[in-house]
Amino acid sequence: MEQVKRGLSYVVYDYVGGPRRFTVPFPFLDKGHVYVYAGTDLETWRRVEWVWSGTNEVEVLEGQIVETELVLLVRQTPYENLEVTFRDGAVLPAADLNYVLKQLHYLLLEQYDGSGGTGVGGGISLPPVDSDFPEIGQLIDLVFQSETMQLLITRIDEIDLNAATLLESTLRENNLIDLQRKYEDRTTRAEHRLEVIEESDQNVALEITELQASFDTAQSTADARYIEINEALASESEARTFQVQDLHAQFNENAANVQTELVALAKKDEVIAQSVETLRGTVGDNSSAIQNLSQVKITAAQAEAIATTKLQSFSSTSFAQLEQRFQTFASDTEGTFGEWSASYTLRLNGGKIGGQPVIAGLGLGLNASGGSDLIVMADRMAFVHPNYTSGGALASLKYPFVVGQVGGQSTVGINGALMVDGTIQARAIKTNTLSALTANAGEINGGTFRTFQLDANGNIRNPSEFRVEITNDPNDPWPFWIGSGVKNANNAVISFGRDGTASFDGDVRAPNIRDQLQAIAPIAWVGSINPNGGVTMEVTRFTLPGPVRAGERHRPIVMASLNVQNVSSDNGVFRTITQRLAGSTWVTVHEGQLNQGGGMGINHALSFVLSPTDQTETYRICVVEVEHGERVRIQGINGFVIGVR
Mean pLDDT of 132-149: 54
pLDDT digits (tens, 9 = 90+) for 350-394: 988 888 889 999 999 999 888 899 888 888 777 777 777 777 777
Checking if the pLDDT of 59 tops 60, the result is: yes
pLDDT digits (tens, 9 = 90+) for 217-229: 888 899 999 999 9
Mean pLDDT of 513-517: 73
pLDDT digits (tens, 9 = 90+) for 3-40: 888 888 899 999 988 889 999 989 888 888 999 999 98
Provide DSSP, 508-533.
---S---S--SEEEEEEEEEEE---T
pLDDT digits (tens, 9 = 90+) for 590-620: 999 988 877 788 888 989 999 999 999 999 9
Q: Which residues contact 283 (CB under 8 A, 6 or more apart)?
A: 253, 254
Q: Which residue has the higher pLDDT, 202 or 171?
A: 202
Q: Which residues contact 475 (CB under 8 A, 6 or more apart)?
A: none
Q: What pLDDT was estimated at residue 133?
A: 46
User: Looking at this protein, which amino acid is placed at residue 532?
Assistant: N
DSSP-H helix ranges across 250-403 = none
Q: What pLDDT was estimated at residue 236?
A: 93
Provide DSSP, 279-297.
EEEEETTEEEEEEEEEEEE
Nearest to 600 by CA among 636, 631, 566: 566
What are the backbone angles phi and psi of residue 600, rounded to the nearest 5°?
A: -120, 155
Checking if the pLDDT of 168 tops 70, the result is: no
C-alpha to C-alpha distance for 129 and 76, rounded to whole angstroms: 7
Q: Which residue has the higher pLDDT, 249 or 93?
A: 249
Q: What is the pLDDT confidence band of residue 172, given thresholds at 50, 70 and 90?
A: very low
Nearest to 248 by CA among 228, 275, 229, 218: 228
C-alpha to C-alpha distance for 243 and 263, rounded to whole angstroms: 7
The CA–CA distances, whole Å, from 126 to 112, 229, 373, 635 equal 12, 46, 89, 46
> How confident is the prediction for the chain on average, in pLDDT?
82
CB 306 within 8 A of CB 293: yes
Q: What pLDDT was estimated at residue 432?
A: 53
pLDDT digits (tens, 9 = 90+) for 232-277: 999 999 999 999 999 999 999 999 999 999 999 999 999 999 999 9
Q: What pLDDT was estimated at residue 225?
A: 95
What region does 371 belong to: left with phi over 0, alpha with psi -120 to 50, or beta?
left
C-alpha to C-alpha distance for 106 and 120, rounded to whole angstroms: 15
What percentage of the chain has pLDDT greater than the value 70?
80
Q: What pLDDT was estimated at residue 143?
A: 57
Checking if the pLDDT of 108 tops 60, the result is: yes
Checking if the pLDDT of 118 tops 50, the result is: no
Provide DSSP, 413-444.
EESS----SS----S----SEE-SS-EE-S--
In three-state secondary structure terms, 379 is: coil
Provide DSSP, 3-65.
EEEE-SSEEEEE--SS--EEE--S--S-GGGEEEEEESSSS--EE--EEEEETTEEEEPTTS-
Mean pLDDT of 439-465: 72
In three-state secondary structure terms, 175 is: strand
pLDDT digits (tens, 9 = 90+) for 68-88: 899 999 998 887 656 556 555
The structure's pTM equals 0.42
Checking if the pLDDT of 513 tops 90, the result is: no
Q: What is the pLDDT confidence band of residue 130, given thresholds at 50, 70 and 90?
A: very low
Q: What pLDDT was estimated at residue 157?
A: 53
What region does 300 belong to: left with phi over 0, alpha with psi -120 to 50, or beta?
alpha
Checking if the pLDDT of 146 tops 60, the result is: no
Segment holding 351, helix H or strand E: strand 338-353
Q: Report the 10 Å Cβ neighbour count for 204.
A: 19
Mean pLDDT of 482-486: 91
pLDDT digits (tens, 9 = 90+) for 394-419: 767 676 777 777 777 777 777 767 67
Q: What is the pLDDT confidence band of residue 119, given thresholds at 50, 70 and 90?
A: very low
Burial readout 459-491 (b: 16 or more C-beta within 10 A, e: otherwise): eeeeeeeebebbbeeeeeebbbbbbeeebeeeb
